Structure 1
Amino acid sequence: MPDQHRQILAPLPAASSRILVRGATVISMDSEVGNLPQGDILIVDGAVAAVGLHLEAEGAEVIDAANMIAIPGMVDTHRHSWEGQLRRINSNAASLEDYCNATHFSFAKYYRPRDIYVGNMITALSCIDAGITTVIDNSHNSRTAAHSDAAVEALLDTGIRAVHAAGAPVSGTWDTAHWQGNLARLQDKYFKNHPDGLVTLAMMAQLEPDQWAVARELGIPIVTEFFGGGMAAELDDLHRKNLLGPDNIFNHCTCLPDAGWKILREAGVRVNVCPRSDAHYGIEDGMYAWQAALHHGIRPGLSVDNETSYSGDMFMEMRVAFYLQRVIGASRRLGGHHHAEAPTNAFRLLEAATIDGAACAGLGHRIGSLTPGKQADVVLIRADDLNLYPVNNAIGTVVHAAERSNIDTVIIGGRIRKRGGVVLGVDREKLRSVIDESCTHLFNAAGYQPDPFAESFAPIHLA
């Protein structure tokens, strides 16, 4: 990546050896730790050392968290980060075809490595800003080795925790020769000497066992866009050949019949669901598969998928998931289904956005809860802001009322990345400049004339 495009962000500061978060309302997401109306969190060398009352730590950097709610960092288990500069370009999309026309079949083929860097960078920064401390980066537009490097370097430079799932482009031409050894090259270059670093490696591929074998030789997870109604028939053969396992991460899983869910459970496949994406693009029946997964003993993570049509925060994902689940249950009961699922609650959705998302990412042993020994990924939400105060229910406030602007502090692996409501180390003038340059290049290359007031389902009119 050219140095001038990596100078938008200041070098990440070293993590304080000790941080004491004092006086927060703590939602730990750990039943043994519990929740505290007013408690402290001690962070030592990047990990949670203790959660309790009146903690002391000589020489620690103290964060006064009175009137704040502390939660674990949220986890987005499926995001096409490279599309960051295409935000809301296709707000009224109504199908996967609309989405693909606005990404893969138009702008994607004109991405330079610097555009991949910019897309991943602004996605990662906005995740941090919104309290998402971990993202599974589904990178299906790395056309050359330089594109792949740019994607990884953007994640490293922002300081987000990420699983970078490198995948081949969907359309256009690309350097197919580099794919033969691209994953091994990335592992050697960025990850071999940092197996416990913030960014780790995965493969993005469809139901392609030959490709999966490469990932398995490297010991990395495999991410797949899986639509159950159209792809379920392939599961039985894969399962009989022992080609499905806990290293598989399936996105969407819409319309999957019971037999397919049984296979995923038996094989230990990890699942994430997309409340907004599935509804927005009418994927199969348009209903996210969270309740179906739970019914079959699988606890899925939640994912944003992309920002080309809507926002990139987990607060909205939890709310849409909450209400869709309740609407479907009420509709079933009204239709005489007396055993329809009971209405869900806010805590269950917060689990999906934190501890369950961590498990889906394969990081449940490291993040997802404020448990002593885990990495210190912590989000502090200002509870005395006008839209939140008074906080009569902390969990309800987080899930139903909080938003990005209420997030005061974000800590990732013991390093403070947002403080006082501002993401640290970002030159905003330079950031806007490189984003504008990238958009201008992509729009001109594709012959696209932007219309800020477009109302059509697919406002992409390419020359």
Structure 2
Amino acid sequence: MTRILIKNTCILSMDPAVGDFDDADILIEDDWIVAVGPNLQADSAEIIDGKGRIVIPGLVNAHIHTWEFQLRGIGSDWVSSRDYHANMHKNLATRYEDEDVYIGNLVGSLNQLRNGTTTIVDWCHITRDASMTDAAIDGLEESGIRAVFARGTVKPPERPGEVPYHKKPFPREEIHRLRTGRLSSDDGLVTLAMAILGPDWGEYDVAAHDIRLAREYGLINSAHTYGRKGKRVVEDGYPRLAKEGLLGPDHNIGHGNCFDDEELKIVLDAGCTITATNLTEMLNYEQPAMLGRLVKHGAVPSLGTDCDPYFNSSMLAVTRHAFLHQRELDNRSLWHEGSWPAKTQHSTLTRDAIYWATMGGAKAFGLDRKIGSITPGKQADLVMFDCRGMNIFPALPGGNPAHIVVMYAETSDIENVIVAGRFAKRDGQLTLDPSRLQQLQDELLESRMRMFSAGNFKASPVERGPQPQEFFL
């Protein structure tokens, strides 16, 4: 048995039954949290000094297209989803081979670990066959991250004589192969979900087929939504799915910010979860991210980083922007109601944002019994912030720990990242051998330049695309 005892640290447990502590200990045995509280003792445990640190649960990135990692920095001047699709799905995505997906997923996952994310929902809509699917999973597994591999399907340009992707049901043989093979267990670090078209991007019969297929194999299914009326493949898709009993807690919605109040009530009453990728919503949508509107309905938001070509996929950045974005909306509402300035506590707090980025993501993908909080009996997925550096000092002690994490902490302040009891980052550095990391970075750069060449791609001027109905993020 391996024991780790984190001593004398500030703890934000995200579990009201456990509580928070200014100065307490966390005992880990193998991959489990076994005790949280002051003055813990454990024979033969490795002692980790937690003084001057804050420990939170590992961040959960509930929506990321990890395969896009090597295409970072190319979307700065893109206009909404039009240019994203013209450059990505209609061009660069078609240049990917197995090794490109593997290296993108591996290095992208390592970057998530470096940034304090211990769990990702890898919304992998690049996979076109079993070989590419296995390469994507190989990258996740090698990184050591906890991942929900949401196997998706490609969105290639339409060609005469071919069935367009929005008419194609999810390939049953792939789900059967994975669910009865390497991802048959829900107990491993990498588990399976389905990234489906849904009624905004696929025909109704396709959406219904895919949800039924997911239920047959006991899988959560997740769909992008464009949400804007007049731009959907099926205008009444979500109400129809609800009437047929096809919506439930096993259906996750990405974005959802353009739902009107009636549609939002329908999906939430059915038990669906919604993941906000608030940086994308702020960049590309006319409606705000789905945060406070969910809270008003008693639902819990989850957060994701979405697309690396646009911005750094840091959950710290997403969490900070989610808080600020919703606080801005709260302030504007108070002003319009004639209640400015607020006479009582604001409705959105920094602690809420951390909860969305931890328990919110865990709940959305059925992982909340395993991760999302620092609770005895859960897996030891933890992030430790060193508050002695200039980014944070002297905010601790005395400052609000949740506020410190959300409003001050950066990747450079993350000292340790633990996934299932194992260090993925220690003393500020990834535990991966530096020579291996350099090799991976070289391979990633080769992949990037090869696809640029094959796609005759230049970051500027931007390749402008048309605005067909099926564009999505």
Equivalent residue, structure 2, for 1:302: 303
Partners of 2:384 and 2:115 lie apart in 1 by 11
**How do residues 208-219 of structure 1 correspond to structure 2 at under 5 angstroms?**
208-219=207-218
Q: Distance in 2 between matches of 1:53 and 1:335?
A: 47
Structure 2 contact 186–192 (Cα < 8 Å) conserved:
no
Query: Which of 257, 265, 271 is residue 260 of structure 2 equivalent to?
Result: 257
2:134 equivalent to 1:149: yes
Match of 2:221 in 1: 222
Amino acid at match of 2:183: F
**Residue by residue, what CA displacement relative to the aligned partner does 1:90-140 show, whole Å, maximum 9, x if unpaired?**
123230112222311110001000000111112111110011101111000
* Kept after mapping to 1: 8 A contact 2:153/2:170: no
Code of the aligned partner of 1:206: L
Aligned residue number for residue 52 of structure 1: 37
Report what 2:320 is aligned to.
319
TM-score (norm 2): 0.88
Deviates more, 1:203-212 or 1:371-380: 203-212
> Residues 67, 51 of structure 1: CA spacing in aligned structure 2 closer, same or farther, 3 A cutoff?
same
Q: 1:240 aligns with which of 240, 243, 248?
A: 243
Provide the rounded CA distance (Å) in 2 between the counterparts of 1:70 and 1:109.
42
1:383 and 2:414 are equivalent in the alignment: no
1:106 corresponds, among 91, 100, 111, to 91
| CA distance, structure 1, for counterparts of residue 430 and residue 351 of structure 2 | 27
SS at match of 1:49: strand
Give structure 2 stretches of 5+ with no counterpart: 199-206, 466-473
Instruction: Check conservation: 2:169, 2:209, Cα contact below 8 A.
Output: no
Partner of 2:203: none
SS of the residue aligned with 1:31?
Answer: coil
Instruction: Judge which range, 322-331 or 406-415, deviates more.
Output: 322-331
Q: CA deviation at 1:170?
A: 1.1
Among candidates 439, 448, 453, match of residue 457 of structure 2: 448
Aligned amino acid, residue 409 of structure 1? N
Distance in structure 2 (CA, Å) of the matches to 1:71 and 1:53: 16
Query: Paired residues, what number?
Result: 438
Match of 2:278 among 275, 280, 286: 275
Q: In structure 1, what is the Cα distance between the partners aligned to 2:404 and 2:170? A: 48
Pair 256,191 (structure 1): closer, same or farther in 2 beyond 3 Å: same
Distance 1:178 1:335, change over 3 A: closer
The equivalent residue for 2:178 is 186
Hey, what's the Cα distance between the residues in 2 that align with 1:334 and 1:250?
A: 31
* Structure 1 residues 369-388: Cα deviation after superposition (integer angstroms, max 9, x where no partner): 00000111010111101111
Range 371-380 or range 260-269, more displaced = 260-269
Work out the percentage of aligned pairs sharing the same amino acid.
33
Partner residue of 1:89? 74
Letter in 2 for 1:259: E
1:345 to 342, 346, 349: 349
Q: Which of 58, 64, 79 is equivalent to 1:79?
A: 64
**Are 2:9 and 1:41 aligned?**
no
Q: Give the whole-Å Cα distance in 2 for the aligned partners of 1:267 and 1:22.
A: 44
CA contact (8 A) 2:169 2:210 kept: no
Tell me, in whole angstroms, the C-alpha distance in 2 between the residues paired with 1:80 and 1:238: 26
In structure 2, the residue corresponding to 1:190 is in which secondary structure?
coil
User: Secondary structure at the residue paired with 1:271?
Assistant: strand
CA offset digits 1:276-319 (Å, max 9, x no partner): 101112x2x24101111111221110111111111111111122
Deviation at 1:78, TM superposition (A): 0.4
Partners of 2:170 and 2:196 within 8 A in 1: no
The 5 Å alignment of 1:336-415 reads: 336=337, 342-390=346-394, 391=396, 392-415=399-422
Asked if the contact 2:195–2:221 (Cα under 8 Å) also holds between the matched residues in 1, the reply is yes
CA–CA distance in 1 between the matches of 2:216 and 2:21?
Answer: 45
Alpha carbons 1:90, 1:459 under 8 Å: kept: no
Greater shift, 30-39 or 364-373, is seen at 30-39
Q: Is the 8 A contact 1:73 1:379 kept in 2?
A: yes
Distance 1:460 1:416 in 2: 44
Q: Which position in structure 1 is the counterpart of 2:201?
A: none
The CA deviation at 1:335 is 2.9
Residue 12 of structure 1 is matched in structure 2 by: none
Matched, 1:205 2:204: no
Q: Deviations over 1:25-46 (max 9, x none)?
A: 1111111211111111001121
Q: How far apart, CA to CA, are the structure 2 residues paired with 1:364 and 1:259?
A: 28
Shift of 1:187: 2.1
Farther-moved stretch of structure 1 (223-232 vs 371-380): 223-232
Deviation at 1:71, TM superposition (A): 0.5
Query: Cα RMSD over matched residues?
Result: 2.2
Given residue 220 of structure 2, which amino acid in structure 1 is its aligned partner?
A: P
C-alpha separation in 1, matches of 2:22 and 2:323? 25
Q: Find the counterpart in structure 2 of residue 24 from structure 1.
A: 9
Counterparts of 2:256 and 2:409, CA distance in 1: 28
Partner of 1:9: none
